[in-house]
Structure 1
Amino acid sequence: MIVTVTPNPSVDRALDLDRLEVGEVNRAHTTHVHPGGKGINVARALARHGVAALAVVPTGGPDGTRLTELLAEHGVAAVPVPVAGDTRTNVTLVDADGSTTKVNAPGPRMAEAEVDALLAAVDAQLATGPQAVVAAGSLPAGVGDAFFVRLAALANRHHVPLVLDSSGVPLARAVRAGGLTLVKPNEHELGELVGRELVTVGDVLGAARDVVAQGTRGVLVSLGAHGALLVCRDAPHAWWAGGPPLVPLSTVGAGDATLAGFLAASGPAPDRLRTAVAWGRAAVLLPGTELPGPQDLDLGAVRVVADPDPHLALKEL
């Protein structure tokens, strides 16, 4: 069992358009409604591959009820934590060429007692001894930038690995506090974390090693169309994995699928990275916020390279 924690979940509505015309009336030809939020996407992807996943989520209002219903429809067990505010709705507009425009609502402000209740719900699940806990996404108002630090303390007390996929100050505080098993930034989030622009493979590897030096065991950096890089504290090599160019239908959830693939895989780190990238590549070939199943994967298309050339520009991968 993998437990996911999504402090700011959503009901995601994706609209497929022939072409988005800004400032004009646009008509969608297809709509998709899914339970959303990065941790929820990880749980959904795992469930599609038969990996048991449980989503801990704050829920409020009619969309909170709808979110719980959608999770059940997708085969994801849920622990809803009631809050007074309404669960947010996010909207994604997808052009026929795969260009994606997202509008994310801020989410409800959570009271201190509601934050404590969310952490208590996670604590109860950690006591059951899950394989890992994944904390992912943004934090709504009222939660506080130290939320992931508090969550890490709970995970460490139960000896459960904590995987974090977030950004900004909450990510920086958690990394500085140490004790994380894995973080999964993209190159922009990693650059913000270390305070410098990342242009080359060497830049990304150096930044990832800076994060590891602060007490995180591994860094999985998603590079979008250019694959992913993996740096682990106890490994003698770093690895890159990627494949031939794809024409995406939607990039929504691709990074979450990548993380889910890494968690679901077994074996040596390079094999897990290959699986992770195969899951991410499969996700971009699906419409809206759909996530890949076993039949969508093409592991043979993914190439893994140990210690990639640090002088290569990321766009050359």
Structure 2
Amino acid sequence: MLAPTPILTLTIESGSQDHDTELHVHPGGQGLWVARMAYSLGADVVLCGPFGGETGTVLAHLAEKENLRVRAVGTAGSNGAYLHDRRGGQREELAFMAPSRLDRHEVDDLYGTVLVEALDADVCVITGTYPASVLPGSFFGRLVGDLRAAGIKTVADLSGDAARQAARSGVDVLKMSHTELVEAELATDDSLPELELGARKLIDAGVRVVMVSRAADPALLVTAAHVREVVAPSVTTVDHRGAGDSMTAGIAVAVGRGLGIAEAARLGAAAGALNVTRRGLGTGHREQIERFAEQISVHDVDDREDPGAHPGDE
């Protein structure tokens, strides 16, 4: 798994007793949240990412404590960090330190690390950067292209130029949110027809499967042959953050197991739906998620025959 911007997360919480305060420290960022959920679902996760400075030292140690096999690329700069206050019931950001931009030697080291590790994997999960300036978009296109040539399946959760580059290189599964499609000017708004149009642009560019998360609305599962809605039972949201990352993890684990894309969508939707009922981002229990996946329905929105469709679309 590629996690290009691990972030140290510090959260202030109310304690169990009146007037108590608790401080929680965790490894975070998109890649770490995806990795954590993938491990919860039974995957053996190898995490490739840049680690530097005081924050990087703490991050690598905490990630290994969560049973992730870390392949750290040393950097001169520091990893990012944020401090959130949740004592009032909602997350209030008190401070954020952005991660350092990687220099060309660090970019090369990261590329070689993730490429070699992915060659031994059932699936390579590729997550994005925040801010986008940490890595050039071409990095993601090169990586997807090289892995595709080697016959390695890829699942990416990307936005902006990184998503476009990965699409052109033929990523197997690309997960994007409805807002990311609009921000990338692939859709003019978040209406169903526009999101379908935006997803089909990515399919035409070379993506095999596009999964569009839509917050509380059913996700869209788009292939060359079909457009489907992925509908999960309604649940009460405790924290919506991390739902999309959990969805990506579920899809990737299912792809690694060799399941069909509809089953992958169900597992991803179940992981995302149950994660919003929890306070821990990217957390959950495998048995609960797999049972909940049985309650996820995948409905055809558009079922046109396409002789060029991939046999694994079903």
| TM-score category, normalised to shorter length | 0.7 to 0.9
Alignment pair present for 1:72 and 2:64: yes
Question: Displacement of 1:249 after TM fit?
Answer: 1.6
Letter of the aligned partner of 1:239 in structure 2?
R
| Alignment counterpart, residue 109 of structure 2, candidates 93, 100, 117 | 117
User: What TM-score, normalized to structure 2?
Assistant: 0.84
Distance 1:196 1:90 in 2: 31
Task: Pick the aligned partner of 1:245 from 226, 234, 239.
Answer: 234
SS at structure 2 position matched to 1:262: helix
The counterpart of 2:136, out of the listed 134, 141, 144, is: 144
Letter in structure 1 aligned against 2:193:
G
CA 1:36–1:259 in 2, change beyond 3 Å: closer, same or farther?
same
User: Would the aligned equivalents of 1:257 and 1:279 in 2 still touch at CA under 8 Å?
Assistant: yes
- In 1, Cα distance between the equivalents of 2:184 and 2:46? 29
Post-superposition Cα deviations, 1:28-72, rounded to whole Å, max 9, x if no partner, equal 844432211222222111111221111001000122111111111
The question of whether the paired residues in 2 share the 8 Å contact of 1:100 and 1:252 is answered with: no
After superposing the two structures, state which structure 1 stretch, 152-161 or 272-281, moved more: 152-161
TM superposition shift of 1:94: 4.2
Aligned to 2:309: none
1:285 Cα deviation from its structure 2 partner: 0.8
Root mean square deviation of aligned Cα = 2.5
Runs of 5+ unmatched residues, structure 1: 19-26, 310-317
Aligned amino acid, residue 67 of structure 2: G
Question: Does 2:210 align with 1:216?
Answer: no
Aligned counterpart for 1:284 among listed residues 254, 273, 276: 276
1:188 match: 179
Aligned residue pairs, count: 293
Residue 307 of structure 2 corresponds to none
Report whether the alignment pairs 1:108 with 2:94: no
Question: Structure 1 stretch 213-222 or stretch 296-305: which is displaced more?
Answer: 296-305
What residue number does 2:312 align with? none
Secondary structure of the residue that 2:10 maps to in structure 1?
Answer: strand
Query: Contact 2:186/2:201 (CA < 8 Å) preserved in 1?
Result: no
Q: 1:30 and 1:282 mapped to 2: Cα distance?
A: 25
User: 1:15 matched to which residue of 2?
Assistant: 12
Deviation at 1:271, TM superposition (A): 2.3
Q: Could you say which residue in structure 2 is the equivalent of 1:304?
A: 298
TM-score (norm 1): 0.83
Q: Which runs of 5+ in 2 are unaligned?
A: 304-314
| Residues 34, 289 of structure 1: 8 Å contact kept | no
Q: Is the 8 A contact 1:6 1:136 kept in 2?
A: yes
For the Cα contact (< 8 Å) 2:3–2:47, is it kept in 1? yes
Task: Give the whole-Å Cα distance in 2 for the aligned partners of 1:69 and 1:285.
Answer: 27
SS at match of 2:8: strand
* Residue identity in the other structure for 2:241: V
Find 1:38's aligned residue among 30, 35, 47: 30
**Cα shift readout 1:182-223 (whole Å, capped 9, x = no counterpart):** 111100111222443233222211211111001111101111
Question: For 1:202, which of 190, 193, 207 is the aligned residue?
Answer: 193
Identity of matched residues, %:
25
Cα deviation, residue 263, structure 1: 1.8
